Amino acid sequence: MAEPLGLAVLELCPLWGVAFVFHPVSTTLESDWAPLRREGVRFIMTNPKWVEKQQRKEQIMREQAKSRPEWLKIQIRTGPNYKQLKDIMHGRSLHTVCEEARCPNIYECWEQRTATFMILGDVCTRACRFCAVTSGRPSHLDLAEPKRVADAVVAMGLQHVVVTSVARDDLDDGGASIFAATIRAIRERVPECGVEVLIPDFMGNWDALKMVLDASPDILNHNVETVRRLSDKVRSKAKYDRTLELLRRSKEMRPDIRTKSSIMVGLGETMEEILQTMDDLRAVDCDILTIGQYLQPTKKHLLVEKFYTPTEFLRLRGEGLKRGFAHVESGPLVRSSYHAHEQVLRADGMPLQSLRPAQEAAPASSGQGAAVQP
Amino acid sequence: MTDVKMPQLGESVTEGTIGKWLKQVGDYVSRHEPLLEVMTDKVNAEIPSEWAGVITEILVEEGDTVAVGTVICRIDTGSAADDAPTDD
């Protein structure tokens, strides 16, 4: 199902102006897409048209940076927790999406001792136009990683952990077995910790999906990222309909595991398209929705087309709740795993997988209406 | 006198751009009070002061980009007691 990479590059160029590709694609490129100049392992497009386009893009970026909305301002607080978490991660050679994706919430989350582990290495086989994670050819598979993640969860004293990964289209199971092993390793060490996985689409390998579900995560998260019309432009290889099918099949196989998805806004979509995407997610019984502002990580990535106001995010949250999502987290700096722990508490209904025996023993708490926050 | 340096905002970040000075020369800044805004890749970040004192010098202007570790301003921490009240 792997598409020829040369084609993928041709598709990228009109969008990026400059495409970073780590594979030897020069032979597949037609002559008018040349010249290519080799710089280290990267090929950089030097066509004057792209250069001009890139310059225009950088100009827009500079203007945007000068007038960034107030609501996107963050505070740097590198307190003791932040520093300790950094030591725990780096000491175990673990990766976090917080650092790799240059997440603006890192100071807030790490100070609160929450972090999202990124397993299966730090090199992704896809090159999505919104994501800052390094793309290329991953070198190896680290079978000891699940244990190290579990060790870190213990060291950090987490109550809820989010585990995500790079896409590993080079592996037969897309890395599903490592996901499953990680869930089990955490369960074994910290049975009371909620486990959420944010998985890639495994190229539609549903056996791989089942492998993850069989390990019983509390939440299965798979991001739709954007509306249908922009999906192919924004994401690499991932397909809008395959995302919906993954969420549908998850629910079908394991109705007791909550499903979750995320939409980035500000990529040029219309309000109607966002609402349609919500409808599409609800049609496959997705339980939890997160909506946040797309922010351009580097000049090589897609430009921000619109900065949504906090009021618009509130409206989106209302539209989501109206459609029956158990929980909607919506705000300018909301990211896929932002306040994830609270979502588990609020998205009532099915008990947490890991807490099931304890919850059955305890009297039912008044979880109803908990989705409403001030 | 204490040198305030451009902080490192992320693993691979080697430079930073001053967005806005929130204090001027002569102003008193207390510890943890926002001192300046730095523009990062994605957002603007408020940097709190690690020291209490009076700003004596601002060495990098708004909009300028300097390497991490560059001295960006100086604070006179000598006369000011740590939690001295400001009277502005």
Q: Which residues of B touch A65 (CB under 8 A)?
A: 17, 39
Question: Is residue A11 within a helix (H) or strand (E), and if so which, with residue range?
Answer: helix A5-16
User: What pLDDT was estimated at residue A45?
Assistant: 61
Nearest-CA neighbor of A188 among A144, A147, A142? A147
In chain B, helix, strand, coil percent, each to 5? 0, 45, 55
**Minimum mean pLDDT range among A125-139, A254-268, A359-373, B67-81:** A359-373
Query: What average pLDDT does the segment A208-216 reach?
Result: 96
User: What pLDDT was estimated at residue A273?
Assistant: 98
| Half-sphere exposure (Cβ direction) of A179: Cα atoms closer than 13 Å | 33
Domain that holds residue A39: 5-67
Alpha-carbon distance of A218 to A193, in angstroms, equals 10
**pLDDT in tens for each of the 88 residues of chain B?**
899 999 877 666 788 889 999 999 999 999 888 999 998 777 788 898 989 999 999 999 998 999 989 999 999 998 544 444 444 4
Domain that holds residue B38: 2-76
Gap from A107 CA to chain B (nearest CA, Å):
10
Q: Which residues of B touch A76 (CB under 8 A)?
A: 7, 9, 38, 45-48
State ipTM: 0.71
Residue A320 has pLDDT above 90, yes or no: yes
User: What pLDDT was estimated at residue A344?
Assistant: 62
Q: Check if the beta carbon of residue A134 is closer than 8 Å to that of residue B72.
A: no
pTM of the entire structure? 0.78
Question: Does the residue A255 lie in any domain?
Answer: yes
> Residue A270: CB partners within 8 Å, gap ≥ 6?
A227
**Same structural domain for residues A54 and A125?**
no
Q: Which residue has the tokens 């395959």?
A: A242
**Same structural domain for residues A167 and A61?**
no
CATH number at residue B22: 2.40.50.100
Alpha-carbon distance of A5 to A21, in angstroms, equals 9
Alpha-carbon distance of A7 to A27, in angstroms, equals 11
pLDDT digits (tens, 9 = 90+) for A225-238: 999 999 999 999 99
Q: Which of residues 109-148 of A touch B (CB under 8 A)?
A: 132
Q: Which residue has the tokens 């996901």?
A: A179
Question: Does the residue B52 lie in any domain?
Answer: yes
Q: Which residues of B touch A73 (CB under 8 A)?
A: 37, 43-46
Number of structural domains chain A divides into: 2
**Same structural domain for residues A343 and A216?**
yes
Question: Does the residue A165 lie in any domain?
Answer: yes
Which band of pLDDT confidence, cut at 50, 70 and 90, is reported for residue A353?
low
User: What pLDDT was estimated at residue A66?
Assistant: 77
Question: Does the residue B86 lie in any domain?
Answer: no
**Same structural domain for residues A232 and A295?**
yes
User: What pLDDT was estimated at residue A17?
Assistant: 29
- Nearest 10 degrees: CA dihedral of B44, A75, A307, A97? 100
Question: Does the residue B85 lie in any domain?
Answer: no
Question: Does the residue A45 lie in any domain?
Answer: yes
User: Considering chain A, what is the average pLDDT of its residues?
Assistant: 81
Number of structural domains chain B divides into: 1
